[in-house]
Amino acid sequence: MIIFNKVTKKFGDGTVVLKQISFSIEKGEFVFLIGPSGAGKTLISRLLLKEVSPTRGRIFVDKEEITKIKPSRIAELRRKIGVAFQDFKLFFDRTVAENVALSLQILPKKEEEIKKRVAEILTLVGLEEKKDFFPVQLSGGELQRVSIARALAPAPRILFADEPTGNLDPETGREVISLLKKINQEGTTLIVATHNKEIVDSFSQRVIRLEKGRIRKDEKEGKYK
């Protein structure tokens, strides 16, 4: 589903964030992408979305080399990849249902289709009874669920969750990861970027560890050392 082949990213000021990293993620996998702040976890999501391009190397998504994709097809690529953010990026003047509907309205979809899909997704994340609530009325865990629901609404093949437990207490964080695991079991390829050691060690999933712009090869995958 995803291949990074010797990818390097150097910015205009000379900063090199990624240094010839290579990895692959199979269709339907659940992978933790771990490492300290500044290691390049969020940059990987931006590369996948073609928000930035690598300085060197090749990136493939769903068997297509996106480093060569035409600008006119970037929107099509981005429909394959949903992103849930640590800071939620919700509109606080819109209800839960309206926030989730936004990602469908820009496609665009018919109103009946949107209502049906929003109801399905809110049921999946356990927020069907709070569809008319505003973000200010929700807990941190509920806000993260709305962010996940919005990312899932267009039915992407890949979901990138960027520090989804960063602002949550440990118990709520585990609940969010359990939800993501459920989503993965339904067929969505899942990447969870985190530096939360406890969360990683609580779930037996494959780990890709970034350290100083490179992928660290640990002897035992699945543990955050």
The burial class, CB within 10 Å (0-12 / 13-18 / 19+), for 108 is exposed
What's the pTM? Answer: 0.89
pLDDT of residue 222: 44
Answer whether residue 13 shows pLDDT above 50: yes
CATH of the domain spanning 1-80+156-225: 3.40.50.300
Q: What does the pLDDT read at residue 218?
A: 57
- Measured at the CA of 80, the angle between CA 191 and CA 135, to 5 degrees, comes to 70
206, amino acid identity? R
The pLDDT assigned to 221 comes to 45
Question: Which pLDDT belongs to residue 39?
Answer: 87
Question: Over 50: is that where the pLDDT of 223 sits?
Answer: no
Average model confidence (pLDDT) across the chain: 91
Q: What is residue 159's predicted lDDT score, i.e. its pLDDT?
A: 96
Question: Do 135 and 92 meet the contact criterion of CB atoms below 8 Å apart?
Answer: yes
- Residue 82 has a pLDDT of 94
Give the pLDDT confidence score for residue 61 in this predicted structure.
Answer: 96
**119 and 178 in contact (C-beta within 8 Å)?**
no
- pLDDT for 152-170, tens place per residue? 999 999 999 999 988 788 8
Length of the chain: 225
Six-digit token pair at 90?
Answer: 């919700």
**β-bridge mates for residue 160, sequence order:** 83, 191
How does strand 206-211 pair with strand 56-61? unpaired
- Whether residue 182 contacts residue 213, with contact meaning beta carbons closer than 8 Å, is answered with no
What digits encode the pLDDT tens for the residues 188-222?
999 999 988 888 988 889 999 999 899 987 534 44
The whole-angstrom separation of Cα 175 and Cα 61 is: 29
CA distance 29 to 13: 35
Per residue in 66-123, pLDDT tens? 999 999 999 999 999 999 988 888 999 999 999 999 989 887 788 999 999 999 999 9
Phi-psi map region of 63: left, alpha, beta (phi>0 left; psi -120 to 50 alpha): left
For residue 28, what pLDDT is reported?
Answer: 95
Phi first, then psi: what are they for 184, rounded to 5°? -60, -40
Domain ranges of the chain: 1-80+156-225, 92-153
